[in-house]
Each structure stands twice: as structure tokens, then as C-alpha cells.
Structure 1
Amino acid sequence: MDPSICYIKPEYLVADWKCDKSDDGVPDQKESVLKRPHAEDENESATKKEKTGKGKKERRRGQNKDRPVYREDRTLNLCQSLFDGPNNDKKCSYTNCKFVHSVEEYMSAKPKDIGDTCYIYSTKGFCQRGLTCRFASSHVDDKLNNLKQDFYDANAKETTFNGIQTDVQIALRKREYDFSKTLEIVKAVEKSRSEKTKENSSENGTTDISPQLTGCVVDDSDQKSPKVDFRNKLILSPLTTVGNLPFRRICKEFGADITCGEMACAVPLVKGLNQEWALTKRHESEDIFGVQLCGNSAQLLAQVSQILKETCKVDYVDLNIGCPIELIYQQGAGSALMRRQNLLENIVRSCSQVLDDIPFTVKTRTGVYADKSVAHELVPKMEEWGASAVTVHGRSREQRYTKNSNWEYIEKCAAGVKHIPIIGNGDIFTFEDYNEKKAVAPHVSSVMIGRGALIKPWIFKEIKEQKYWDPTSAERFEMLRKYVNYGLEHWGSDTKGVETTRRFLLEWQSFLYRYVPVNLLECPPQKINQRPQLYHGRDDLETLMSSNNCADWIKLSEMLLGPVPDGFNFLPKHKANSYVSG
């Protein structure tokens, strides 16, 4: 049996299936899974050969550039002063407001409502989107007034925290935010490291360059108890794009112990850009939550750490030195920091001291190149520099996700530290994988799960209960419905919020479709890097959910969010099919 193939029980197989290992994972959009033939039209095939040359298949990639993005015509939007209807007391304060100020005109052009029950109105008692809500019929009366339920509490505590406050944003944009203490720490760290390096330039001994600072926070992590216990936890990995707040809420409900926001870059954070600060938002259900940073400057990262400490509710701050993205790497950030140890030392020492009692952690890969692992050398140094925990992803930057994670090497890294927890990451897809990895790496304190949680978020439940859960298609669809409701609550229930929720749902579906129900497997368990044989599910909905076709993902979204707008198109950002190459 081919170890790279996930074998399906014969009664669920689609006939004449052949494994195409040249498929790099960006699904075609030509036909639905419920109508998929197994041979292409001759004319279409000939056209393909002409385009790609010599009959070779054109290589497709995850679409992170020039992606089709839905953009609404803002001139058709209703002025916010009229969200609650024409009879409210709010007045437009802008003399040159470009939005619509006629409620009748707006309502006549507004798309048809998606449904008759607004999740926000039914749970909160009031929908702030008012007339613009795509479920407005449930809370707008005949006179176009936006209604409130009796249980609505205008003073109820917020359920989402963080982001950037207006006064902080203004101070950052005017460069008036007080970073004097942080700059003092950074300069002292850099000066001390430089002086000690010169003193020991002719020696081979270890160098102690801990700065002696007067009036500054000095790292004494060995003496103080950690604020966050990273031992024996199931940690959800920071996941760019797909690791958004609604997804993290789903994972928390399935048993994730610790969550972390999507990677945020230091430069736009220091500039006070809303889009980047949105990545720091936290839901009240995330009882242990961290923010992951990326950057190539000790000063900038330390400044961001100060802002987070002073203005946000965070339990830890993480530095990503494993990001393989080429643009990030070329800027000297992400995985490039594994090759810039002097800078990395300045960053870890500075940030850990600025954050003081908030743990500063680091997430790394084995190294930049597959044949040259350096993490086992870096991890003990990062412990010395002040890191409270280190996560080791058992692959190099060069390997991305196409090779198996090396847990023997992760164990080597974990065995090399004295006190701090080492968190293992990579290829955990079942509770059996979890048990196996923990046996291979007994010194690893906890595990971090990324793609496994994207493909089946209930992996946390399976690990804690030590048994498989085989949800029906109806149960999986209800999970999607819950995600959509959380998305509408987070991004809004107007047209823009609906389409934002749809886009992130489709991004998630580019991973979800890879799940094969456990009772359909010929040789369970399913491995994360195995390509399944083409199969049909136990019902039409399960078959639809197994499709690698973007058009079918859009159908699923329409079942929850109504028809897509005219001209809508979608290409997944990530290469979801990172199957092992054999």
C-alpha cells in the first residue's frame, strides 16, 4: 500500500480514481463534485496543452497575490446616522457625507434579506447594523424603526477585547506615545551585548551580557513564577488568515486550552493601523490568549510589547521566527531571524524585560534549510535570554509542510533546556498521533496544533477523551452555522460583514474538505499528509463537504449566507493540499 494515500472503504469509492501527485492543492472551479466526470473533454484538454506547453500541467499555487476581493460600492451605503431608522435622534455631522441619506431610496436598492432571524438581535437584544442588517426583517418594524428587545442591556460588558483605542492611535500616528523607558531598555541591551562581545572576542567561553539597568525592568524570570502555565496544555497554533476570532471560539468550545491571535507585523502596529490591530482582538471565552508578533527590529518589537502591556488584555506575547513567507524572510524577519542571532538576542532580551511579568515566548522551526538544523542550539540560548517558553515546529523553512515533522529532533531541543517549557508542533491529527509524539518526545511540555485543528477542530475533544468522534454531516454543518453566526457578530451582519464572513468561511473550507469521516477509512487513522482516494459520503451533504472544488465551497456558503454577489469569485489564499511527496 502506498503510504502517501489515505485508503477508503470500497463501498464509498468513486470508480476509476487515480492518484495525481502533481496536483499541488489549489482546486479547480470547473465542475461540481456531484457531477464530476473522470475524463476531460478532448478539446478542453488540447487547449490546456497549448497554454502550458509540451502537454505539461500548469503549476498552480495558493493565491496570495492579485486575489479577487469583493468590494462594495460605498456610495450605495446608508449613512450611519440612519441605521436605526428615519425617526431616531441621530443627525449626520458631516457636511460632505457621501453616503445615502434617504431611507426609502436605500431600502429600495438594498439586496433581499438572507434570513428572517438575526443572530445578534436574538442573542444581544439589539442589532447595531439596524436597517443595513441582512436579517433586518426580524428587528425592523413597518415604520422602519430598529427595534430593541426587553432584555437588551446597553451597559452590558463587552465580549470582545483589545484592538486599538482612539487616543492611543492618535498618539502613535503623531509619534507622541511615550516609549522612553522601552528605548532605554533596548539601548542598554544592545550596548551591553556589544561591550561583552568585544571583551570576549579573543575567548571561547560563554558570554553573560545581561544588562544592569538603573530604574528599568530587569529580567529575573528564574526567580519569579510564570504567569501562564504552558505545561500539559493543548495549544491552538497562530494561523494566518484562518486563525481568526470566530474560528478560535469554535476551537475553545472543542477543548483548546490556549489560543493565540494571527501573526501581526510590528511596523503597522506601531503606526496604529486598524487592520493590523484587529489581529489582536480577543473573545471573552479565550481564557489564556496571546498575541504573535513578527518583525526585524528589537526597538519596534519592544515598543509594540509596551503598547500591548499597557493597553490590551494579553496573557503572553509570542515572537514568530519560523514564518516561511518569502517577503517576510527577505525583510530579515520570520525564519530569517534564525540566521541573525545577535539581533534575535536583542529582541528576546528587550521584549522579555519590557513585558516584565507577561511571558514572552518564541515559535521557531528546525532551521532555514532541511540539511542544517539549528534550533537545538538556539533554544537553550533563548532560555538564557529570557524566553518563558519556546515552540519548535519540526520542519525547516525549506520544507514548509511537504515533509513529516521531526519529533525526534523536537525531543533533542526539549532535552537541552533547563527550566522553560518546550512546546512541540507538527503533524498531530488524531489522539493516536498525540500519544505517539508524546512518547517520542517525553521532555516536551505541551503540543501545539495547527492544520489538524483547521481540518477537524474537534481534535482537542478527541485528545482529551482519547477516542474518535465521527460527526455526521448535519453536525458538521451546524458547526459551520455557528462559525457564521460568530463571524456576523464579529465582522457585522450588513453586506460587508456577510461577505467578509463568507470569505473567511471559504478560506477555512479549503482545509475542512480534507477531513475523511473515520468510519469511511479502510485503514484508520487518517494521516495529515495522506491524499485520500476519491470517495462519496454517506449522504449528499457529506459528499459536498468532501469536495476540493471551490464552486462547491461557494454552494456551502450560500446555504448559510445566501447567494453570492454578482461577479463573485474566490481563490484560496493557502496551499491547503500540502501532502507528503512519498
Structure 2
Amino acid sequence: MEPGICYIKPEYLISEANGGGQTTSNDGDSNKRKHEEEADAQNETGNKRGGGKKERKRGQNKNRPVFKDERFSHLCHSLIDGPGGETCTLANCRYVHDLDAYLAAKGEDLGNECYVYATKGYCGRGVTCRFAKSHTDAQGRNMRGKDYDEQKPLTTCNGISAELQVRLRKHDYDFSRSKEVIKQAEKLRDERKQQAKEKAETAEEEPRQADVEPAIGSAIDDSPSGRDAPRKPVIDFREKLVLSPLTTVGNLPFRRICKEFGADITCGEMACAVPLLKGLGQEWALTKRHETEDIFGVQVCGNNPNVITQAAQVLHETARVDYIDLNIGCPIDLIYQQGGGSALMRRTNILELAVRSCAALSDKLPFTVKMRTGVYADKSVAHELLPLVEEWGASAVTLHGRSREQRYTKSANWTYIEQCAAQAKHMPVIGNGDILSYEDYVERRALAPHVNSVMIGRGALIKPWIFEEIKQQKIWSPTSTQRFEMLRRYCNYGLEHWGSDTKGVESTRRFLLEWQSFLYRYIPEELQLSPPQKINSRPQKYRGRDEMETLMSSSNAADWVKLSEMLLGPVPQGFSFVPKHKANAF
């Protein structure tokens, strides 16, 4: 059998006679080539390199269309609860004040029940809700349910308050703590450099005595973040299933789904330090946390230790977070070229200051680091960095078994992950890469016995129930009905999170479609010739056991839109969708 192909049982294969292209049990290679050519044609045309060979597209679809709907015009908040509400007092209010015209443009309701109203007893979107008839009276006024408790705590926290936003924008926030720990970190770094210099000079004169020579970084042993200091007891990162921080698709509704399936630790999408310090609402939205996320962290990205430390300080002081993670593995070109993400693996002086200072901010705030094997495929450096990061005070390190250069094109190197994990003295090491089944989990843990926990990213996007499989130690193969109900829950959570008005519905649809660009890759075990499915394998052309399963397996974005319409109603006129990631735009 050809590698990289998931072979399907003959009875589920689609033959050329059925209009699906020629796919039999021994033509996987031709099907794979056809699959790749379709991906190239759909993503970008005419892009060629040496010899006229088409380049396989990777990274982002940066030129994907941005859909704008005029119905997104906001109704003035004074009219949210319907006729007879407050009077708008703003002289230059830019929102809509003609309630009848707004309601006419809003269109028909998408359903008879508003999930937000049904679960909370009140829908804050009022008459703008696309399910408003379920909670408006005969006069069109927004109602509150009998059991609605206005004093009940919100189910979602974090984000940014208006007061904090003003303080950050006026540079009125007190960052004296950050400045102090940065000074201490610079002093310790300079001491380490001086010590290393003296050791190098001494080594030229006397034989090195390994049993008495202090380790690099021992100058910080007396500090709270030193390598021999007790580990911070706030979170035990050992033997946990961690959901990876996933840009775009790792949003709050998706994390709720993963928590329901057994994820132990969740982390928000990567937030850039500079926009956080500027008080940008869109960046602070990435810090939001649902009440079901009992262990929750925020991942930050930056290229300057002062900025990273200040972002960590303001998160610690104003948000409910259990830990902060520093991303030094992000492969995105823009981040890398600015010296952030995986570029920090080469800028060790900057990295040392960032880790030392953030780890020293608070004994109650664990600071962790997520890295790759290195920048280049043929030059791994994580085995050198990981012990240093521990000495600098990190509470845990996650190691993704690929380099920046490899992105996701090669299998994760768990042998190397084990080599690195074995060097940690006290710090937990979390392994990450290519886990899509319980069998993958068992195999990787056997390969890397020094790895304390496992982080799952793409595997959770394709099979969010993977956490449950691992905990129950058996494969679960949900029916198409069960998978559709999972999507329904996701949409409900999306309407609760992004809003049930037109803008919220379309935001939920967009994120659902981005997730579906991963979900369609799941192949039910009963259809596979030799399960379990491997994460980088692609299937032969196949049909499901019923129409819904076939629709869910489609690689055509138009079919993903059909699924969204079953859950969120018809798409607006002129709607189009191209996945953010080229690898998913088959």
C-alpha cells in the first residue's frame, strides 16, 4: 500500500461510473495526485516554479474574499428592547434609529427558539436577534423569562472593560512591577554570561571537574524562579490532556465542545502582546474564558521582553487566567520576520529576559513555553533550549515535534521529543504532534516515557472526541446524527458567544465553516480498510453510510455551506467562503 493514503473498504469507494473519478483499492496514488491537483487549482492558478511544475499551496489564503452584508448595520441600543425604550441622547449617534426599517431589512427569523433566551431567560440582542419572536411580546418588546436572574454571574469572563481600555490607551497603567522584574532578569542574565565566561577561561587552565562544576544558570539558584526552587503548585501539568491554542478555530465555542469530550486543560488563541497593551478589543476577545474551562491559560506572542512582560502583568492583574504561555514556535511569516514566534528560538538573550521576568511576576501564575524543534529541519535546537528555559523559571514546556521549516509536512519526531524531555529535571514536558487516535496516544507515550502530558491540536479539530477516546481507552465512532448534533451545539454556543443577531449568526457560520475544513477529514473507522486513520493520510474518494455522512466527508466548500444552512439558515445573498488555510481548500 502507498504511504499517505487511507484505504477505504471497496463497498464504499466511488467509481468513475458514479461520477466520482476512478478510485479502486489499487489506484490510491492516482487519486492522491488528483486530490492535490484539485487543491492547487482551487486555491491559486498559474503559480509555477522551476520546470513548469505546480507548487503545492501551503499557509494562508491571504486573498480570500471578505464578505460584507449591509444588514450588519447596528440598531441603536436605545431600541434594542423594542418600541417604547429609552431615548437616544447622543447628538451624533451613528447607529440606526428607524426600528421599522431595521426590522424589515433584518429578514425573517431563522427559527422558533432562541438558544440564549432558552438557557438564560433573557437575550441581550433583543429585537435584533434572528430568533426574536421567541422572546418578544405582541407589541414587539423584548421579554425576560420568569426564572431570569439579573444578579446571576456571567458564564463568560475576561475580555476588556471600558475602564481598562482607557487606561491602556492613555498609557496610565502602572507597569512598575514589570520594569522591576526586567531589571532583575537583566542582572541575572549578565551574571550567567560572566560566569560562563569565567568557566571558559578556567577550562583552558584546569581539567573540567564535572562532579563539582556548577551548571549553567546556577547563579539564579537562590531566586524564587531558580532551577532548584520548588515548582509552582498552582497547576499540575502532569498526566493531562491539553487542547492546543489554535488560531481562528480554537475559539471559545470550540473549546466548550472539547471540554465536554474530556479535555483537561484549554488555552486561548494566540494573542499578540502589542495589541493587548493598546487595548484592542479584538485581541482581548481571545482571552475570554467560559465557566466550564476549569484550567485555562492565555497564550501570548511578542518580540520584546518588556512588552511580553507587561502583557503578562496586565493579564495576571485584570483577567481570570490559570497560566500564561509564551509562543516561541509560531511559524507564520509576519510574526517570524518581526522577531516573534519561532524566531525567539534563535534570539536566546531576548527569550531569557522574557521567561525570567514573566516567571518572576507571581508565584501564583505559572508561566509556560511552547516551542518547536527549531527553525530549520536539519538543525534542531530544542534540546539546548529546554533545559535553559527550565532554569529560567518556566513551569512547563510544550514541544511540538516539527521545525518551523517543516510546518505540518512531515511526521512529528517523538524520538526527539523524548530526547529533550529526558533532560528536564523537575519541569513537566508536554509532547505535541500527530495524535489522532487512542492508538496514536499509546504509541507516542511508549516512545517518549519522559513526556508528562500530551497536547492535541489538529487531532482535536478533526475528532474533538479524541479526549474521550483516550480516557476510555477505546475508539468511539459517532454516527452522522451524533456528529450533526455536535455541530448544532457548537452553533448554539457560537450564538451565545458572538450574538444571535445577524452579525453574530454570520460570525458563527464563518467559524463553523473554518472548523468544517478540518472536520471533513474524519473517516469513520467502519469505512476504513486498515484503521486507525493517520493524521497526514488522505482517503480515496468514498461515500458514507448515509447521505449526511457523505455530505460531512465532502472536500467541497459548497457542501460545507449547505451544512451551515441546515443549522443557521440560508446564507446572505452574495455570500462566498474560502478556507483560511490553503491545505484545507481541496
Flag whether TM exceeds 0.5 (same fold).
yes
Alignment of 1:105-254 (within 5 A): 105-198=101-194, 200-204=196-200, 206-210=216-220, 222-254=229-261
In structure 2, the gaps of 5 or more residues are 16-21, 24-29, 201-214
Residues 561 and 26 (structure 1), Cα distance of their counterparts in 2 relative to 1, 3 Å cut: farther
Structure 2 equivalent of residue 69 of structure 1:
66
> For each residue in 1:378-433, what CA deviation from the matched residue of structure 2 results, as whole angstroms up to 9, or x when unmatched?
11111100000001111111111111111111111111111110000001110011
Rounded to whole Å, the distance in 2 between the matches of 1:240 and 1:467 is: 29
> For each residue in 1:474-517, what CA deviation from the matched residue of structure 2 results, as whole angstroms up to 9, or x when unmatched?
11000000000000000000010000000000000000000000
Residues 138 and 28 (structure 1), Cα distance of their counterparts in 2 relative to 1, 3 Å cut: farther
Alignment of 1:371-382 (within 5 A): 371-382=378-389
Rounded to whole Å, the distance in 2 between the matches of 1:51 and 1:434 is: 39
> For each residue in 1:45-98, what CA deviation from the matched residue of structure 2 results, as whole angstroms up to 9, or x when unmatched?
xxx78999998657544544233223233784321110101123x221211122
**2:320 paired with 1:310:** no
For residue 469 of structure 2, the aligned residue among 448, 462, 470 is: 462
Structure 2 equivalent of residue 551 of structure 1:
558
The question of whether the paired residues in 2 share the 8 Å contact of 1:226 and 1:388 is answered with: no
More displaced 10-residue stretch of structure 1: 274-283 or 356-365: 356-365
Structure 2 equivalent of residue 3 of structure 1:
3
Q: Secondary structure at the match of 1:448?
A: strand
1:147, distance to aligned residue in structure 2 (A): 1.4
Rounded to whole Å, the distance in 2 between the matches of 1:28 and 1:109 is: 39
Structure 1 equivalent of residue 27 of structure 2:
none
More displaced 10-residue stretch of structure 1: 378-387 or 71-80: 71-80
**2:581 paired with 1:574:** yes
Structure 2 equivalent of residue 451 of structure 1:
458
1:207, distance to aligned residue in structure 2 (A): 4.5
Which amino acid is 1:129 matched to? Answer: R
Residues 82 and 50 (structure 1), Cα distance of their counterparts in 2 relative to 1, 3 Å cut: closer
Structure 1 equivalent of residue 344 of structure 2:
337
The question of whether the paired residues in 2 share the 8 Å contact of 1:26 and 1:576 is answered with: no
In structure 1, the gaps of 5 or more residues are 31-47
Structure 2 equivalent of residue 384 of structure 1:
391
Residues 108 and 147 (structure 1), Cα distance of their counterparts in 2 relative to 1, 3 Å cut: same
The question of whether the paired residues in 2 share the 8 Å contact of 1:402 and 1:578 is answered with: no
The question of whether the paired residues in 1 share the 8 Å contact of 2:303 and 2:339 is answered with: yes
Rounded to whole Å, the distance in 2 between the matches of 1:519 and 1:286 is: 33
> For each residue in 1:277-327, what CA deviation from the matched residue of structure 2 results, as whole angstroms up to 9, or x when unmatched?
000000000000000011011111111111111111111110111111111
For residue 355 of structure 1, the aligned residue among 359, 362, 365 is: 362
Give the TM-score of the pair, scaled to structure 2: 0.91
1:22, distance to aligned residue in structure 2 (A): 7.1
Q: Secondary structure at the match of 1:542?
A: helix
Residues 300 and 430 (structure 1), Cα distance of their counterparts in 2 relative to 1, 3 Å cut: same
Structure 2 equivalent of residue 486 of structure 1:
493
Residues 220 and 341 (structure 1), Cα distance of their counterparts in 2 relative to 1, 3 Å cut: closer
For residue 424 of structure 1, the aligned residue among 410, 431, 444 is: 431
Structure 2 equivalent of residue 20 of structure 1:
32
Give the TM-score of the pair, scaled to structure 1: 0.91
Which amino acid is 2:338 matched to? Answer: Q
Rounded to whole Å, the distance in 2 between the matches of 1:436 and 1:329 is: 32
Rounded to whole Å, the distance in 1 between the matches of 2:187 and 2:468 is: 49
Identity %: 64
1:196, distance to aligned residue in structure 2 (A): 4.2
The question of whether the paired residues in 1 share the 8 Å contact of 2:328 and 2:345 is answered with: yes
Figure out how many residues of one structure are paired with residues of the other and give that number. Answer: 558
Rounded to whole Å, the distance in 1 between the matches of 2:564 and 2:57 is: 24
The question of whether the paired residues in 1 share the 8 Å contact of 2:221 and 2:229 is answered with: no
The question of whether the paired residues in 1 share the 8 Å contact of 2:47 and 2:54 is answered with: no
> For each residue in 1:356-381, what CA deviation from the matched residue of structure 2 results, as whole angstroms up to 9, or x when unmatched?
32110001111111111111111111
The question of whether the paired residues in 1 share the 8 Å contact of 2:241 and 2:455 is answered with: yes
Rounded to whole Å, the distance in 2 between the matches of 1:28 and 1:480 is: 29
Q: Secondary structure at the match of 1:355?
A: coil
Alignment of 1:265-280 (within 5 A): 265-280=272-287
Which amino acid is 1:12 matched to? Answer: Y
> For each residue in 1:152-182, what CA deviation from the matched residue of structure 2 results, as whole angstroms up to 9, or x when unmatched?
1111111001111221111110001000121
Residues 276 and 400 (structure 1), Cα distance of their counterparts in 2 relative to 1, 3 Å cut: same
Structure 2 equivalent of residue 510 of structure 1:
517
Rounded to whole Å, the distance in 1 between the matches of 2:5 and 2:573 is: 39
RMSD: 2.4
Residues 25 and 125 (structure 1), Cα distance of their counterparts in 2 relative to 1, 3 Å cut: farther
Rounded to whole Å, the distance in 1 between the matches of 2:481 and 2:255 is: 21
The question of whether the paired residues in 2 share the 8 Å contact of 1:24 and 1:577 is answered with: no
Structure 2 equivalent of residue 36 of structure 1:
none
The question of whether the paired residues in 1 share the 8 Å contact of 2:428 and 2:452 is answered with: yes
Structure 1 equivalent of residue 18 of structure 2:
none
1:23, distance to aligned residue in structure 2 (A): 4.8
Q: Secondary structure at the match of 2:361?
A: helix
Residues 376 and 496 (structure 1), Cα distance of their counterparts in 2 relative to 1, 3 Å cut: same
Which amino acid is 1:96 matched to? Answer: N
Rounded to whole Å, the distance in 1 between the matches of 2:498 and 2:374 is: 37
Q: Secondary structure at the match of 1:317?
A: strand
Which amino acid is 1:455 matched to? Answer: I
